[in-house]
Amino acid sequence: MRSRVLRRAMYLHHLLTLRCPMHTSNGPFQPQTSGDEIQTACPVRSSDSPFFVPPKSAAGPPQAPAAPEKQQSTLSKLNPLNYMFASISQERAPNQTLDLPVDRELSTIPRGDSEGNWEYPSPQQMYNAMLRKGYTDTPQDAVEAMVAVHNFLNEGAWNEIVGWERVFSRGLLNGWGKCRRGEENLAMELAKEEYSEQNGTAPATPPPRLLRFQGRPQELTPKAQILQALGRLYPAKFGTKPPFDRHDWYVMRETPSGPKEVRYVIDYYSGPPEPTGEPVFYLDIRPALDSPTAAVERLMRWGGDVWWRASGGDVRNQNQN
């Protein structure tokens, strides 16, 4: 479903142009060749690394000459959880004239690979990442606002995903019981369930956890492609700019039969600003169509809302009250 997110921040037009600098697009970004290149490390360490060379012993037979060490590829330096370099420098960049904070904000998003929550990049890391991707014209005094918007949108995306998970983590039948009365009553259904869990009259729903994520800004989702095609045919009704970013988030869902990995797709749209000048973003978040179950979940949530309104559910609900 598409949610509306607003945030006041400076230089947001620059953010929309740069997309999310902390993620790769079609492939890993290439390291710069300057002397102040950001140091990175392979996420595979110690003896597990294919580049590990055991230390030579003082005693023993002579060893054969070692083969020339292979040059480490850029892809091998990426963290497989988020397709970012394993380490992004907190050091001041060359020619940087403004001090940027190095503190990292802790998100509310639980990690799936360990205890604790994911951490957002610091403004200094964000700036270094932008420089590494070639955005040398980034205003230094706008980086803190960019980080704030980046974090704000991620928190909004996670809240939407948690909503989907609370609807369907207990199965399709339980999910339909919540969706059949439309979106306007869904929040009330979830609030009743949460109240029952707190009172101990219903089993608690284990919260989802984010396993990994990937930015794919150059790849339109099938839904975005369809909307763009409809916009060309019927511009008055469907005309809209393509999303300025796309993320794929892999979530660990706790079901009655055990944990299950679910992929969510997120399209980031920018809308006309508010009369007060506040920028407007729309996040279109839904489970990816990786399985028949995901397709049914999307159909239930959309179809339940359409049926409720088309069948006069609002009127019946008002008469009952």
Backbone CA torsion sign across 82, 279, 227, 300: positive
Q: What is the pLDDT of residue 136?
A: 86
* pLDDT, greater one: 275 or 53: 275
Count how many domains the chain has.
1
At residue 9, the pLDDT reads 37
The CA–CA distances, whole Å, from 306 to 168, 178, 283, 287, 302 equal: 18, 14, 20, 19, 6
What is the per-residue pLDDT for 313? 79
Indicate if the pLDDT at residue 285 is higher than 50.
yes
| pLDDT for res 279 | 81
For the cut 90, the answer to whether the pLDDT of residue 268 exceeds it is yes
Does position 302 have pLDDT exceeding 80, yes or no? yes
Between residues 69 and 17, the one the model is more confident about: 69
Residue 303 located in a structural domain: yes
- Do the domain assignments include residue 187? yes
Q: What is the mean pLDDT of the chain?
A: 77
pLDDT of residue 144: 93
pLDDT digits (tens, 9 = 90+) for 129-149: 888 888 888 899 999 999 998
Say what the pLDDT of residue 63 is.
52
Q: How much is the pLDDT for 87?
A: 66
For 293, the token pair is 């179950």
Distance CA 175, CA 197 (A): 16
What distance in Å separates the CA atoms of residue 180 and residue 162, rounded to the nearest whole number?
19
Give the mean pLDDT of 274-288: 90
Any domain includes 69:
no
Give the whole-number percent of the chain exceeding pLDDT 90: 41
Most confidently predicted of 22-26, 186-190, 255-259, 289-293: 289-293
Per residue, what are the HEC states of 86-137? CCCCCCCCCCCCCCCCCCCCEEEEEECCCCCEEECCCHHHHHHHHHHCCCCC
**Residue 70 within any structural domain of the chain:** no
Say if 65 falls within a structural domain: no
Asked if residue 60 belongs to a domain, the reply is: no
Phi, psi for residue 269 in degrees, rounded to 5: -115, 150
Lowest pLDDT segment from 62-76, 210-224, 265-279 = 62-76
* pLDDT band for position 286 (cuts 50, 70, 90): very high
> Cα-atom radius of gyration of the chain, to the nearest Å?
24
**pLDDT tens digits, one per residue of 176-226:** 999 999 888 998 889 988 888 888 888 888 899 999 999 898 899 999 999
In a domain, 32, yes or no: no
In this prediction, residue 31 has a pLDDT band, given cuts at 50, 70 and 90, of: very low
**Domain hosting residue 294, numbered range:** 101-313
Q: Is residue 118 a part of any domain in this protein?
A: yes
pLDDT in tens, 149-165: 899 999 999 999 999 99
Residue 48 pLDDT > 60, yes or no? no
